[in-house]
Chain A
Amino acid sequence: MSEAVVRAAGAGVTIAYAILIAWLAASQPQSLAEVTGGLAATVGVYEADAVNFEAGLQLFRQEQFEAARTAWSRADPAGRDARTQFYVAYSYYRQGWGRLSHDDALYAAGLEALDRAVAAAPGGRVVVSDPGLQMQTADELRAELRGGITREWSDLNPARVLRSRK
């Protein structure tokens, strides 16, 4: 192998390694799945597993939210699929929703999932066409989740018991 080839390959590998280290520091992955999923998403080849996603969707429609999230975590182990993460956020919303009060911890987890969905979506815009959902954009869902966490005088309005879950 000629010297020029060795030097060019060395420079290429070194630069790629340096970019990988910088990417790891910026994205802070917590598991190997997140590393591989993140790298795949970076080059645009990441896809959620359709079978596990559908299984999660069935469980979601049956109101088995924790089970649905387990299926979706298999479908999207890196948390890089906007649609899956939107549904994860929606499942936290529905599970945490209460007529008299909401579960702040679940709503906060929903906001985190929604952040992942927005980060993964092209242009940061998440729109899901599902007639079973009354909120089909990340913006609507975010407003609902934030409203649930925020303490306001309107929380004391007795009429709020008449509101329904979306």
Chain B
Amino acid sequence: MTPAREAFALPLTLLTVVLAGGIRLTTPVAIEPPTLFSLVLASVLTAVFVQSGVVDPTRLLRADRSALANLNGLLAMLALFLANAQVISRLTPDTGLPALGVSLLFFVTLLQLGAASLERARCLRVWAVTLLTAFVVKFVVLAALAGPADRPIARALQVLVDGLTFGSLTQPAERPAAGYLAFAMLGTYLLGLVILPPVQRRALAIETGGGRQEIGGRR
């Protein structure tokens, strides 16, 4: 990893996720910090990323690096933790049964990722699919239920769903741009995960008569 990528690209990308994920396009516009539960889940997620080799903390923080390099690494790790928390917080519905359901989805997925001890690519793939699922639930399904209904049938359906679920599905309405902003945040976050320094495993080299052959290598 180049110094510029470690000092600029990585922390700034992840902090942009923190900023974009905090913006709530309600009236008035609010900027919210991650919830307490999302901080707990982010701790678990960061540990899962370390375990599965998505990020190698020893490439960011190590005794034989300079103090400045370690400061860059520390800032990158803190930014990763905050971005994890903010993404979880943003994709979790605000209230009611959906909030509980999506929180459980994140919790169970993280437990499974931790138990399965997947390698980097698979771990990222599973996490991306989980985030996309949560995004669809919050910004497509629940937004459709909470948004203004332009036809009588749509209004009737909204009232029916609201009545059948005792209002437990209803979410505070945000402007339509909120979904696009959250999608951009999600894309930026996944980009940030991809540019994290992964665990590098030394290849096993076998010297044969025909030359040198390398087996395995970077995960």
Select one of B3, B15, B22, B29 contacting A7, CB under 8 A. Answer: B3
How big is chain B's contact interface, by range? 20 to 34
Report A11-30 CB contacts with B as 1/0, cut-off 8 Å: 10111011001001100101
Q: Nearest chain B CB to A145's CB is how many angstroms away?
A: 23
B144 in contact (CB, < 8 A): no
Sample (6) of A-B pairs whose CB atoms are under 8 Å apart: A6-B7, A8-B68, A14-B11, A21-B19, A24-B31, A28-B29
Rounded to whole angstroms, the CA-CA distance of A7 and B43 in the bound complex is: 26
Contact A10 to B8, CB < 8 A, known contacts A18-B15, A21-B19: yes
**A10 and B7: CB pair below 8 A?**
yes
Chain B residues whose CB sits within 8 angstroms of the CB of A51 once the complex forms: none
How big is chain A's contact interface, by range? 10 to 19
B118 in contact (CB, < 8 A): no
Chain A residues whose CB sits within 8 angstroms of the CB of B75 once the complex forms: 11, 14-15, 18
B143 in contact (CB, < 8 A): no
B79 in contact (CB, < 8 A): yes
List B7-41 residues whose CB lies under 8 Å from chain A.
Answer: 7-8, 11-12, 15, 18-19, 22, 28-33
Chain B residues whose CB sits within 8 angstroms of the CB of A14 once the complex forms: 7-8, 11-12, 15, 72, 75, 79
B104 in contact (CB, < 8 A): no
A143 in contact (CB, < 8 A): no
Chain B residues whose CB sits within 8 angstroms of the CB of A21 once the complex forms: 15, 18-19, 22
Chain B residues whose CB sits within 8 angstroms of the CB of A159 once the complex forms: none
B116 in contact (CB, < 8 A): no
Chain A residues whose CB sits within 8 angstroms of the CB of B31 once the complex forms: 24-25, 28
**B7 and A17: CB pair below 8 A?**
no
A9 in contact (CB, < 8 A): yes
Rounded to whole angstroms, the CA-CA distance of A30 and B25 in the bound complex is: 11
**B71 and A25: CB pair below 8 A?**
no
B69 in contact (CB, < 8 A): yes
Which residue of A has the minimal Cβ distance to B79?
A: A14
Chain A residues whose CB sits within 8 angstroms of the CB of B32 once the complex forms: 25
**A13 and B12: CB pair below 8 A?**
yes
Which residue of A has the minimal Cβ distance to B71?
A: A11
Chain A residues whose CB sits within 8 angstroms of the CB of B15 once the complex forms: 14, 17-18, 21
Chain B residues whose CB sits within 8 angstroms of the CB of A10 once the complex forms: 3-4, 6-8, 11, 72
Contact A13 to B8, CB < 8 A, known contacts A7-B69, A24-B19, A30-B29: yes
Chain B residues whose CB sits within 8 angstroms of the CB of A11 once the complex forms: 7, 68, 71-72, 75
Chain B residues whose CB sits within 8 angstroms of the CB of A8 once the complex forms: 68
Tell me which of A4, A8, A10, A17 has the highest count of chain B C-beta atoms within 10 A of its own C-beta: A10
